[in-house]
Amino acid sequence: MYDEATRARALELVASGMTFTDVSRKMGGKPGPAIIRKWSLNELPTGKRSKRMVYTQRQKLEALARVEAGEDYTAVAAEVGCSPPTLLTWRKLREQGGDEALITAVDRMLSVAP
């Protein structure tokens, strides 16, 4: 994490009219523009990472089917709860390795559950 002096200096530069990217560059690239933006919006990072979603093969295939049926992939991704690039990755994995390429550890655990 950054000290209060670094945060204060970054916010001072933003207040002077500099962009988040320019502030980051002026400060040697640390902190990055995203952190400076969060500071300026008072969205302080907690230091905790969000929990990563794990999707089953079935969920992935259903999402891909919706995209193939003509739905916008960004809208499908938002409803599913993943990023649009994740959907594109799933599609690429399936193109390269078939439906089996989308099997996850969750699927394996569910298949051995009584």
Which has more pLDDT, 7 or 86? 86
pLDDT tens for each residue of 10-68: 888 888 888 888 888 888 878 888 888 887 777 665 555 666 778 889 999 999 999 99
pLDDT at 63: 94
Closest alpha carbon to 71 in 58, 87, 86: 87
> End-to-end alpha-carbon separation of the chain, Å?
46
Q: For residue 3, with 0-12 CB atoms within 10 Å meaning exposed, 13-18 middle and 19 or more buried, which class applies?
A: exposed
Tokens of 97: 């390795």
Go through the domains of the chain in sequence order and give each one's CATH number: 4-40 (no CATH), 57-112 (1.10.10)
Mean of the pLDDT values across residues 75-81? Answer: 87
Average pLDDT score over residue span 101-111: 84
Confidence (pTM): 0.55
| Of the candidates 53, 54, 52, 65, the residue with the CA atom closest to the CA atom of residue 99 | 65
**Each residue's pLDDT tens digit, 3-14:** 788 888 888 888
- Looking at residue 100, its pLDDT comes to 92
CA distance 7 to 35: 9
